[in-house]
A and B are shown apart, each in its own frame.
Chain A
Amino acid sequence: MIFLEFPITGDMRFPLLILEWISMIILLEISLVFLFRYKKQEKTLKNLQDIGYFAIFSGFSLMSLFYILGDYYSSDSIIFPFLIWIYGSERIFFLNLGYFTALIACFVLIFCIEKYNVFFYKKYFYSSIISIFTFLFLITFFIDIRITQRFTYGFWYTFLIFFINFLIKFFKKLKYKGIFLFIAIALLASGYSLTTDIFITMFGLESRMIGDILQLISLLLLSYFFFTLIDFSEFDWKEKTEALFLIDKAGICLYHKIFKKKKELISENLISAAISIVNEMLNELIGSGNDKGVLIIKKPNQIVMIYSGETLSGVLYMTEDLNFPKVKLKEFVDKFELLFKNIIQDQSIKFPKEKLFNYTETITEDLFFK
């Protein structure tokens, strides 16, 4: 057992500090990439998951800064009274700020992910648990800052379970890149373990040095992974798309496609007429003005998206309110109008109308299946 003294001094101090500082900056850089990705997304496509990733990486960066301040620049000796507490130390204070930052960052990430996904049986299941831990942490923080660490164990376990749950879902879509992500996360986890007080008291600061190097390698891998990853908005949406309709201003169904075989619907002509009436009624009631956005009608397990173009309207049945399908629906209607608006409007154009269906099928394949 090695006795640990804070702030860390000696030969290892400066190299360790350099490694940890670099890791902190890289975390900040990754977070900035997510922020830019979010900012540069099309307005209707904006995905809060990117904000979640921004929060987690910037939060962990800030947490690293607090850990650096706690381990390298603060004393561990207990002072009484300490600021607003009866007992406390500078190091414990900074570590607490780090824990709190991690709690908030993880909460934001989980909330943003759960906005688009349901884990277990209930939406916002993990967000609720993390918020309870945050609440308990805050209460304990003001009572005694020396015991808050115990609450963080529960929080970290919850986050770990959520993360494994999420990764299982996420890995399927990543294919070979999933292995890359797995290696990076394994390195990060093992690296982090080696920097904890338990390992340092067993193996000394050399353990922390190896842990820092592993984390740095992992962060470089993660940087590459995230810089080359496609937008998160493109995951999952296909599984939640149930049916597509294209209707003209008179409410006649020009085309329909059922994506889920289990989905049982009444006649497409009845649906088209009904949607058309609903759309008209809503325009009268709440007005559409010049808004070319997608109209969303929500029910507990069914979302109906309606996008009205100049001459046609597209309708999409979804199981969740996602952003990306809105863009696809808009693209579908706009493309159809661009292709066939003249033909639909101008009856004198000799166009083999029976081919319309085949073309629409190809557009659907292209936009919704590829």
Chain B
Amino acid sequence: MLLQLSEIREIQFFLCLTNIILGIQLVLFFFNRYHKINAERLQLNKVLLSYGSVCLLSIIGAFILIINRVFISSPYLKEILDKLGYILIFFSIITFLFFITSEEFSKIIKLNTIKVLIILIFIPIILVILIPSNAFIFSFIKIIFMVLSLVLLCTFQIRLVIKAKSKIKKHLIQILIGGIMSFGSLFFVIEIFIHLLYPLENSTNLLFLFTLSFITGFIIILSGVYDFPAFFELNWEENLINLFIINQNNNSCLYKYNFSGIFQEGRLLKEKDEYYRKSFEDIFLGGITGIDRIIAEITNTENEKINKIKRENSLVFLEYGSNFFSNITYALITKKDLDSNLYFLKSLKKKFEYIFKEVLIDVEDFEEKEQLFKNFDVIIDDLLL
């Protein structure tokens, strides 16, 4: 005969199961979103992997604990599964921290702190393995650890929200609010229901309340993850200097944009030192094409193009037009070597070719090119804000 539970137990089990299934969907959403936006491997996108992994392991851990509580009667197996469930939950924090150990996250939390935390988390894991699950100290360790983990996750998320800007900030706030509701509820479901209130038949209402809170949190997180945008490096836009779109056939500038005018001097000062700027542009436009040809000649790589020119305090990212527009070069001058710059340049190229593709086919027929492409300012402003 298969398992028979009382009706109350069944309902309690199904409420827990609801949390688990919704949690799994959340994990799929996090990983799927990461996969979609990570074409240029922006480091901060890994925050989605962090969230996904913490969800995945906590959900599996919680599932094991629930199954253990409801179905398993052998004390030996019960002990093993109890430990396994908590180890997975504790380990989820390690995976969370592991994904944010890249340099870019150091602006939010010090890398050394993360490394120390990862090592520290192994202590409760070892203790959980060594201490019997029915000992008081076992309950004490796990509750303290889970509360500290929630505090850690919240602190990290709040700092991330503070540092983030524009659209992404809204998404991160949604994930923060939803996360507090969902994980707070999951904590209560695991700790309060499974361990403290399970013997009480009338704890169903409380469990129902937590499940509702979990579902609400889940919906809020889902709203935040649904169209989560690519996460550029923090304050990356401040490292942008100039953008040039060059017609290589005659070294003429089709379009230029001065970012420093916006982020450092203010837009009104854009025209300052016009003479100096003009001569710099002329040298730059011809220079880029010349350098490309020289390097191709001396390295015998005529079919390959230069992607990046690096000096100590500045860089030039280069992209080339696709298909019919191979004579167009997109040059972005920046201060730092950030992945976001390349992602941004590629987005600009895509937009420019999409909007002006009809004109670009016979661009050399026009005399007033800068006038023609001037409206692209609007698109850049939109991408930046």
Contact = CB atoms under 8 A, between A and B. Distances in A.
B5 A14 contact: yes
B181 to A, nearest CB: 16
A29 B22 contact: yes
Nearest to B365: A352
DSSP majority for the A interface?
helix
B25 A29 contact: yes
A11 B21 CA distance: 24
A21 B374 CA distance: 59
Nearest to A335: B355
B226 A25 contact: no
B25 A359 contact: no
A289 to B, nearest CB: 22
B372 A343 contact: yes
A363 B358 CA distance: 8
Contact of B355 (A11, A32, A339): A339
Contacts of A11: 1-2
List of 4 A-B pairs having minimum Cβ-Cβ separation, nearest first: A359-B358, A362-B358, A25-B21, A11-B2
Interface of B: 1-5, 7, 10, 14, 17-18, 21-22, 25, 219, 222-223, 226-227, 355-359, 362, 365-368, 371-372, 374-375, 378
What interface size band does chain A fall in?
Answer: 20 to 34
B375 A339 contact: yes
A13 B10 CA distance: 11
A32 B2 contact: no
A53 B5 CA distance: 36
8 contacts: A11-B2, A14-B10, A36-B222, A36-B223, A341-B375, A350-B367, A351-B366, A359-B359
Contacts of B1: 11
A338 B368 CA distance: 15
A40 interface: yes
A349 interface: yes
B17 A342 contact: no
A18 interface: yes
A204 to B, nearest CB: 15
A294 B25 CA distance: 38
A36 B374 contact: no
Given A17-B10, A17-B14, A36-B226, A342 B3 contact: no
A39 to B, nearest CB: 8
Given A13-B4, A14-B4, A73-B7, 14 more contacts: A18-B17, A22-B17, A29-B25, A36-B223, A338-B375, A338-B378, A341-B375, A346-B371, A350-B368, A351-B366, A352-B365, A359-B359, A362-B357, A363-B358
A351 B372 contact: yes
A15 interface: yes
Given A342-B374, A358-B358, A14 B3 contact: yes
A26 interface: yes
A32 B356 CA distance: 38
Interface in A85-126: none
Nearest to A346: B371
Given A11-B2, A25-B22, A351-B366, A342 B358 contact: no
Nearest to B366: A351
Interface in A1-55: 11-15, 17-18, 21-22, 25-26, 29, 32, 36, 39-40
A24 B355 CA distance: 46
A363 B223 CA distance: 34
A14 B2 contact: yes
Contact of A32 (B5, B219, B371): B219
Contacts of B14: 17, 21
Contacts of A22: 17, 21
A338 to B, nearest CB: 5
Contacts of A352: 365-366
A157 to B, nearest CB: 33
A7 to B, nearest CB: 9
Contacts of B223: 36, 39
A359 B375 CA distance: 17
A349 B3 contact: no
A36 B26 CA distance: 14
Contacts of B375: 338-339, 341-342
A150 B323 CA distance: 64
Contacts of B378: 338
A351 B5 CA distance: 82
Nearest to A22: B21
Contacts of A26: 21
Point out which of A18, A26, A32 has the most chain B C-beta atoms below 10 A from its C-beta.
A32
Contacts of A29: 21-22, 25
A11 B2 CA distance: 5
